[in-house]
Structures are given as C-alpha cells and as structure tokens.
Amino acid sequence: MVSLSPQTSAAAAAIGRPPIAWLSQFRGLPLLPLAILVPFVLIAVFADYIAPYDPTEPVAGMKIFIPPAWMQGGDIRVLLGTDFQGRDVLSRLIFGARVSLIVGVMGTVVAGGIGTALGILAGYLGGWADLVIMRLTDAWLALPALVFAIFLATMVGPSMWNIIIILGLVYWTRYARVIRGEVLSLREREFVKLAEIAGASSTRVIRRHILPNVLNSAMVLASLTIGVVIIAEASLSFLGVGVPPPEPAWGSMLADGRSMLMVGAWWLTVLPGLCIMMVVLATQLLGDWLRIRLDPQLRNL
C-alpha cells in the first residue's frame, strides 16, 4: 500500500477525519480470535521458558498415564498428566503449538506465494501461459490432497521444513484459480488500461495495480488455508509421516493417545484436539475480520 508522509496524513486528518480517529482503531477488534491466538502465539514463541519439562523426555520419577492434576490420582507437578512414556502432556502441548503455528503459517505462505504468483502470471499474460498453468492446476486438483502429501512426505522423509514445503505444494491450487479469476477481471478494469496507456511496464502494472488488488482475496484464502494446513500437518503427524517423533506435534499426540481412549485416558487426545480446534477456529475468524479491515472502501464506515 501507499506510505504516507506526515504532511499528507496531517492533511488527510484535517480534511475529513475526526481528531480522535486513532481511537476508533480499537473499535471492532476481533476480540475472540485474538483472545485465542495471542496466547497460543506467545506460548509458541516462549515455549522454552514456559514449558515445565523437556517435552521429549519422560519426567523423572513420574509414572506413565498420570491423569490431569484435578482428577483422582493426578499430580500437581504434571498439571495435564503424562503420556505413555511418562512425558509431561502440558510441555508437549506447549511445544506442539510451536510446530503447528510454524507449519500452518509457513505452509500457507508457501502455498499462497506459489498460487498467487502462478495465478497472476496466468491471468495477466493469458494465452499459452494461462493454458499451461491452468491445466497444471486442474491436474493438481485432481490429486487427492492428503494422499499426495503422504506420498511426497514418504519420498523426501519427514522433517518440519519438508512438511511445510509439501503442504505448500499441495494447497497452492486454490490460490491460483481464485487469483487468476480476479486478475482476468482486473485486467479489463479501466485503471489498469490507463496504466498501460500511460506506458507502464507489465512488471509495474502487476506490482502497482494487480497485486494490491488481489491481496484481499489472497488474505481471505490464507485465513482458510492456515486452518486446513494445520489440520493437514496434524493428519500427517497422526499418520506418522509428519513431524518425526520424539518432536512434539499435536497430530502425533492424537495418534499416541488414540489407543488409550478406550481405557479412559481422554486427556491424551482431547487436549491436543481442543488445541487444534481452537487455533483453527481463531485463524478463520481473524481472517474474516482482516478482509473487512483491509478493504479501504469499508475502512471508514
């Protein structure tokens, strides 16, 4: 977007904005998603300082399958109990947040980067570029996403960064299609034609006119994709081809706890499941809010 020099913003304020405009910045903040996401992000960032135990090692002197502290047989030193190896569930959840958020955000960035770039190229260049890119997208869409991800993950071997690249490669198609459609209609808009008539190069048109106008859509898609990618990462980890053990990931925690669900060790599955659900929900709500927020036509309302 356009950066404002102090004078021009002062001028803008003088013309139409009430003097307390900055106060309204806080009006309508997405409180629920922020209330969920901010703690998760902080926890993920400061996991090393917050987590009471090493998430990969059994807690010394603790039995396995200790239930959460408030239950019969719980221990106050391991608040959320221990798993089948006697590792602290709370510490694993805390470090798992880091994995989920990094994979979710970075996977979305990779998917969004590939998809937006290809979508803009296809839409703006048209002709053969369009044909090739869109047939590639169609072919890609025909592949079942998760099966394809599992295939790629077993090919390149499990690691967090591999998972990020793989999920990016799996989920870019939606961006490419939506962005291409937007670009097709943008290309016919008169302000784009005006720029071309004024002599703007393709790069300039894309940078100044196309990209800023598709960012909204990319943002909305990203809000949807983060959730999908987090769930996909959890699924891969659940299936054993995601983040490799003993590294804690919510998906692999679900897998580990699954067999114990029948005998009543619910905390091993419900707690990571709840974390996944809350983070996914919060990202979706936040994305929706961002979309409204980023549209200058709605900004002053």
Partner 1 sequence: MKSGSNPQRVSMSPPLLEVEGLTKHFPVTIALFPRRQIGWVKAVDGIDFAVDPGETLGVIGESGCGKTTTSKLILLQEGPTSGAIRFDGEDIAGLAGPELMRYRREVQVVFQDPYSSLSPRMRVGEIIAEPLQIHTDLSRAAQQERVAEVLDLVGLRPEVAALFPHEFSGGQRQRIAIARALVTNTRLIVLDEPVSALDVSIRAQIMNQLEELQARLGVSYIFIGHDLATVAHISHRIAVMYLGQIVEMADSLELCEKPLHPYTQALFTAALPAHPDDKREKLTISGEVPSALSPPSGCRFHPRCPKAMSRCAVDAPERKEVAPGHSVACHLY
Binding site residues, partner 1, CB under 8 A: 1-2, 4, 8-9, 11-12, 14-16, 189-191, 193-200, 204, 208-209, 212-213, 296-297, 300
Please identify, using beta-carbon distances, which residue of 189 and 258 lies nearer to partner 1. 189
Report d(CA 284, CA 301) in Å as an integer: 23
Q: How far is the CB of 9 from partner 1 (least distance, A)?
A: 7
Q: Can you give the length of the chain in residues?
A: 301
Cβ pair 178, 119 in contact under 8 A: yes
Q: How far is the CB of 3 from partner 1 (least distance, A)?
A: 10
Please identify, using beta-carbon distances, which residue of 8 and 154 lies nearer to partner 1. 8
DSSP 3-state percent helix, strand, coil across the chain (nearest 5): 70, 0, 30
Please identify, using beta-carbon distances, which residue of 119 and 257 lies nearer to partner 1. 119
Q: How far is the CB of 92 from partner 1 (least distance, A)?
A: 44
Please identify, using beta-carbon distances, which residue of 16 and 61 lies nearer to partner 1. 16
Q: How far is the CB of 7 from partner 1 (least distance, A)?
A: 8
Report d(CA 292, CA 298) in Å as an integer: 7
Please identify, using beta-carbon distances, which residue of 23 and 198 lies nearer to partner 1. 198
Q: How far is the CB of 226 from partner 1 (least distance, A)?
A: 24
Cβ pair 136, 119 in contact under 8 A: no
Q: How far is CA 186 from the centre of its chain?
A: 27
DSSP 207: I
Backbone dihedral region of 30: left (phi > 0), alpha (psi from -120 to 50 degrees) or beta? beta
Please identify, using beta-carbon distances, which residue of 95 and 124 lies nearer to partner 1. 124
Q: How far is the CB of 82 from partner 1 (least distance, A)?
A: 53
Please identify, using beta-carbon distances, which residue of 198 and 262 lies nearer to partner 1. 198
Q: How far is the CB of 1 from partner 1 (least distance, A)?
A: 7
Report d(CA 165, CA 223) in Å as an integer: 18
Tokens standing for residue 128 = 């053969």
Q: How far is the CB of 191 from partner 1 (least distance, A)?
A: 4
Buried b (16+ CB within 10 A) or exposed e, 76-105: eebebbbbeebbbbbbbbbbbbbbbbbbbb
In degrees, rounded to 5, the angle at the alpha carbon of residue 136 between the alpha carbons of residues 132 and 137 is 120
Closest by CA to 52, choosing from 23, 17, 15, 95, is 95
Please identify, using beta-carbon distances, which residue of 145 and 195 lies nearer to partner 1. 195
